[in-house]
Structure 1
Amino acid sequence: MYRSTVFILVIYCFCGVHLKQIPSYIQLCKRDQNTIDDCVRHSVEALRPRLAAGLPELDVPGIDPFYIHEIKVTAIESPLNIVGKNVKVTGVGNFTIKSLSVDLDTLNIKLRLRIPKMHLDGAYKLDTNILMGLPIHGDGNLKIDAVKCDADVMLHTEFYDQNGVEYMRFTKMDNNINIKDYTIKIDGLFNGNQALGDVANTILNQNRGEFLKVIKPTMEKTVTELVLEMSNKIVDGIAYDDLFPKP
C-alpha cells in the first residue's frame, strides 16, 4: 500500500504544467531521455517535506498518515480469512528512492523504493488455522510494525487520441513487495481471553514469514488498484504535451 504514494508524486512532477500557476517548489522535467530519470527523482525528493499535508492542487491526500478503507485477504490454498478496515498507515513519508527510470517511448515507469519503518493500526476480523493447525478467530484491533519495506514496481502506460489531442493513461502495474521483518499484535482473539490471545500472538510472530507469504498477493493487488485509480485521476484530461514539455 505504501508504494501508491510515491507513484502519485512521480506523476505530480509531470502534471505541474497543467496548473494555472505552477507552485515554486515544483521542478518540471522536460521530455529528454538523457535527463528525465534524474530530474524526476530530484523532483520527488524535493517534495518529500510537503507530503504529510497532501497536494491539494491535484486533490491528493496526505501520505503520513495514509488511510486504507478496507483490505480483504482470502487464501484459496489455505483456510485464511482476514478483513482489515480503516487501517491507518504511518511512516511512508520517510521513503527513499533507490532507483527510478522513465522510458519516454512507452512512458513506462520503473521504480525501486524503501520505507525504513512503517506502522499499521486498524480494525480486523480474522478466521484461520494456517499456523500449526491452531484455529485462530477474533475481531478487534490490529497493530503491525514493519522494517525495511522494499518494492520493485513497473507502471505501464498507453496513449490515446481524443479530438486530435494525444493523452495518456495507466493500464497496468507490476509490483513485488518485500518486507524484511515485522511484528504483529492482535487484540480481541478468542473472545478477549488474554492467555489464549497471548499464545496466538506468539505463534503469529514466530510464523510471520509464512503469514506474510499467504497475504502478499492480496497486498500487491490492493496496492495496484490504489495506484492505478489515483494516478489516472491525476492525469485525466491533461494532454501529453502538457505532461511532458518538449526540450
Structure 2
Amino acid sequence: MAFSILFVLALCGTAEVLTKEIPSYIQICKRDQNTIDDCVRHSIEALRPRLAQGLPELGVPGIDPFYIPELSATNVGSPIRAVGKDVKVTGAGNFTIKALSVDLDTFTIKARVRFPKLHLDGKYKVDTTILGIPLNGQGTMKTDAVKCDAELVIYAQTFEQNGQEFIKFSKMDTNLNIKDYRIRLEGLFNGDKVLGDATNEALNQNRGEFLRAAKPILEKTVTKLLLDIANKVVKDIALDDVLPRP
C-alpha cells in the first residue's frame, strides 16, 4: 500500500531541484522562507498532469502506475518472512497534499500526503506465521487500500566540494497510516483452495492486527527507497542551483 508514496515525497524534497536545464513546466522556488512552502506545494500541484508518465528529463519514474521490483521483509528479528516482486501500484496519481513545510535553516522537509485509493498487483513468496495465522506459498497477490496517509520528515545536510556547496538527504522519519485494505494471496499451500480461502479470510478479518505487525517493515522500506530516489535527483547539483537565492 505504501510504496507509491515514494515518488510524491521525493518531489516534496526535490521539487526545488531546478537548474537552467530543467524543463520550463517546473516552477522555480527561491530560497525565501516566507514563500517556500506555498511555492513547493504549487510546483507539485502543477506537475500533477505529468506525474503518471514521469519526468524522464530528471530521471524520475511515473507514479501511475508505479513499479516496485522487489520488496523484502526478511530482516533478522522480524516476525514476517516474505518477499514481493514485480509489484505494480495504481492510483497514486490521485494524491492530495494535506500539509507541507520546508525549513530553510536546517533544510528539513515535513509533509503529509493522502492517497484515496491504491491497488497493488504483484508476486509474492512467504513462509511464516503471523498472529497465529500460518502463511506458506508463492503466487500472485492483489491488494486494495483506501485512505492511505504518509507523514514524513526528511532531514538534509550540506557539504562543500570543489568550492561549491551541495545538499544530501541524510535521514527520514516515516509514519504510515492506512484506513482499510483487502488482500488476496493466490497460491497458498501449494494451491490448496480450501486452505487458501480460509487463510485469506483470516488475513482480512485480522487486517488491523496484521497491518500493525507489518507497519515497521513498510516504513523502513519506504524510507530507504525514498532517500535513494531523492539523493539521486540532487546528486552533483550545487545548492545555489537547487535553491537559488532571491
- The answer, yes or no, to whether TM exceeds 0.5 is yes
Residue among 6, 9, 28 paired with 1:7: 9
Instruction: State the match for 1:144 in structure 2.
Output: 143
Deviation at 1:80, TM superposition (A): 3.0
Q: Is the 8 A contact 1:78 1:130 kept in 2?
A: no
Q: How many residues are aligned here? A: 244
Counterpart in 2 of 1:233? 232
Matched-pair identity in %: 61
In structure 1, the residue matched to 2:120 is 120
Partner of 1:111: 111
CA distance in 1, matches of 2:129, 2:103: 45
1:21-48 CA-partner distances (Å, limit 9, x unpaired) = x423211111110111011101101101
Partner AA of 1:224 in structure 2? T
Contact 1:55 1:62 (C-alpha < 8 Å) held by counterparts: yes
1:53-64 pair list within 5 angstroms = 53-64=53-64
Q: Deviations over 1:96-141 (max 9, x none)?
A: 000000000011100011000001110001122224x342311100
Q: Kindly state the Cα deviation for residue 246 of structure 1 after the two structures are TM-superposed.
A: 1.1
* Gapped regions of structure 1 (runs ≥ 5): none
Gaps of 5+ in 2: none
**Are the aligned partners of 2:103 and 2:109 in contact in 1 as well (CA < 8 Å)?**
yes
Which residue is equivalent to 1:32?
Answer: 32
- The SS at the match of 1:213 is helix
TM-score (norm: length of structure 2): 0.94
Is residue 13–residue 154 contact of structure 2 (8 Å, CA) maintained in 1? no
Further displaced range: 185-194 or 153-162:
185-194
User: 1:74 offset after TM fit, Å?
Assistant: 3.6
Contact 2:12/2:111 (8 A) holds in 1: no
Give the partner amino acid of 1:208: R
1:112–1:134 Cα change, 3 Å? closer
- What secondary structure is seen at the aligned counterpart in 2 of 1:135? strand
